[in-house]
Amino acid sequence: MKLNNSQLLKTQNYINGLWCEGTGKLAVTDPATGELLAEIADGSAADAERAVGAAHDAFPEWSRRTAAERAAVLKRWYQLIAENREDLARLLTLEQGKPLAEAMGEIDYGASYIEWYAEECRRAYGQTIPTHNPAMRLHTIRQPVGVVSCITPWNFPNAMITRKAAPALAAGCTVVIKPASETPLSALALCALAEQAGLPAGTLNVVVGTDSAAIGKVLTQDPRVAKFTFTGSTPVGKLLMAQCASTIKKMSMELGGNAPFIVFDDADIDMAVSACMATKMRNAGQTCVSTNRIYVHESVHDVFVDKLRAQMERLQPGHGLDAGTTFGPLIFRRAVDRVHGLVEEAVANGARLLLGGDFLPNGENYYAPTLLTEVHDEMRIAREEIFGPLAVVQKFRDEDDVIQRANDTPFGLAAYVMSENIHRANRVVEALEYGMVACNAGVFSTTVAPFGGCKESGIGREGGVEGMAEFYETKYCCYGV
């Protein structure tokens, strides 16, 4: 693997400022080719315990630093990421598969959380509260919660880490992260740069391990951990929430989605198609806010489908590092087989296959961009999170009916509305039971705004001022005078 800065390729866990071996080895492979990229130290529950201990010991010193002192270290980290962005993006593409331009976008997006929270921690204001009793003075102060443990997924191996670690560290917390074992290289490269930036030993720790369940138990049950934050699937999130109950941890959960994408008859169809492509085909459909169900008004259905199909046909599958590639592999074969199973089942139940529907010759993890129409709400493809490059189109006639269908899911992460009518857009945006709604846009996530879901899509928010609040305790201080 060729990197300009060879210091970024780390193959050991990072605990208490030291690079440590694990109990065995874990293979990291390129999902585009199956080629072995690196063998990483396979961490254990005991390593996770040591990491929690290190974070616990580092907390008093780090949390007592002034916000400006913490900000200075975080800004150095941000600058080092910016200086190494090409290498970080290359590493990300190699282990995750997304096209290099998307990986560059993720590195910039991920780094923006570090820069923004380095600024935001200077504004951790408390309140002076008008008193109920002349003999008392009432104030609140905000203090870091303590040790924060994080488990992150493989689909955004860089940004899902910085979105948690940056506000936690900025608030004065110390952090232990278990990244997905498919994509640990991005996490370890971030640690190498954090170390270079001067983050003290024990402040940020990464334990990679194939035994997620054992490591997860430590991160959710160790009493020294004050807060647990997870990004991943809803079933695993439910399990981890239950584990957190024994010590009443604070929790944030960024879980799965089943995003509706509603195209009204008054939409700008070209804009709607571009937005749909961005939300549906980015990262080969493996994003939590990816469009799952496309509802198109019956009067514009055919024109929308024709234009979407034309755009999908232009996608260029290939290795993410090759020039011209706009469409990469899925993360592993299991995901490809699952997606193919959903397509076969939908077609057997009456869906119409307009494009794709099969494996691609590029490699065993590639699945063709696939377009299905005449899908029904009862089909599994419309009820489950797809997490693959399947565009699934249904017709609708009536505004109230489509709102009801869009809300008829246990998920509530992201939704999309395409309409040029501001009155309708307002009505529908407000009626959708989702944590985030994008109107006439396909890509909306930004550092400065709260990201997160309701219902079974999660608890809490990441990004913006809400994302910072997750890592503070508000302490009420009452003084007799």
By annotation, the residues acting in catalysis are 254
* Stretch of residues binding ligand NAD (CB under 6 A), selected from 3-11, 211-219, 348-356, 465-473: 211-219
SS3 of 345, please? helix
Tell me whether residue 353 or residue 454 sits nearer to ligand NAD (CB atom): 454
Give the whole-angstrom CA distance, residue 269 versus residue 303: 8
Q: Which of 68, 213, 303, 448 binds ligand NAD (CB under 6 A)?
A: 213
Report d(CA 431, CA 419) in Å as an integer. 15
Q: Of 222, 385, 456, 470, which one interacts with ligand NAD (CB under 6 A)?
A: 385
Counting residues that bind ligand NAD (by CB under 6 A) gives 29
Token couple for 77: 């980290």
Q: Which pair of tokens denotes residue 420?
A: 């040029």
| 93, 154 contact by CB (below 8 A) | no
Q: At 406, is the secondary structure helix, strand, or coil? A: helix
Considering the rule CB under 6 A, would residue 467 count as an interface residue with ligand NAD? no
In what side-by-side order are the strands of the sheet with 472-480?
Answer: 127-129, 136-144, 472-480
Return the number of the residue (172 or 453) whose C-beta is nearest ligand NAD. 453
For residue 154, state whether it binds ligand NAD (rule: CB under 6 A). Answer: yes
- What is the DSSP secondary structure assignment for residue 317, as one 8-state letter? B
195 neighbors 167 (Cβ within 8 angstroms): no
How many residues does this entry show for the chain? 481
Q: What binding mask, one character per residue, do residues 87-126 give for ligand NAD by CB under 6 A, x or -? A: ----------------------------------------
Q: In angstroms, give the least distance from the CB of 28 to ligand NAD.
A: 13
Count of CB atoms within 10 A of residue 217's CB? 15
Residue nearest to ligand NAD (CB): 216
Please name the amino acid found at residue 176.
V
- Taking CB under 6 A as the binding criterion, the range among 147-155, 307-315, 353-361, 465-473 that sits at the site for ligand NAD is 147-155
Where do we find the tokens 């605990």?
Answer: 15
Q: Does 202 bind ligand NAD (CB under 6 A)?
A: no
Q: Binding string, 397-426, against ligand NAD, x = CB under 6 A?
A: ----------------x-------------
Any contact of residue 161 with ligand NAD (CB under 6 A)? no
- According to CB under 6 A, which one of 155, 162, 292, 419 is a site residue for ligand NAD? 155
* Spatial distance between the Cα atoms of 47 and 216, rounded to a whole number of angstroms: 12
Q: CB of residue 152 vs ligand NAD: minimum separation in angstroms? A: 6
180 binds ligand NAD (CB under 6 A): yes
Q: How far is the CB of 242 from ligand NAD (least distance, A)?
A: 11
153: contact with ligand NAD by CB under 6 A: yes
Which of the residues 234 through 293 are near ligand NAD (CB under 6 A)?
Answer: 236, 239-240, 254-257, 288
From the list 98-106, 168-176, 228-236, 418-426, the region that binds ligand NAD by CB under 6 A is 228-236
Residues 405/428, Cβ–Cβ less than 8 Å: no
Answer yes or no: are the C-beta atoms of 259 and 442 closer than 8 Å. Answer: no
- Of 269, 202, 255, 195, nearest to 7 by C-alpha is 195
| Tokens standing for residue 464 | 């913006």
Measured CA to CA, the distance from residue 394 to residue 410 in angstroms comes to 19
Residue identified by tokens 């780094």 is 111
Residue 434 touches ligand NAD, criterion: CB under 6 A? no
Q: Which residues pair with 415 in a beta bridge?
A: 437
Chain residues that interact with ligand NAD, rule: CB under 6 A: 151-156, 160, 178, 180-181, 212-213, 216, 231-233, 236, 239-240, 254-257, 288, 385, 387, 413, 453, 458
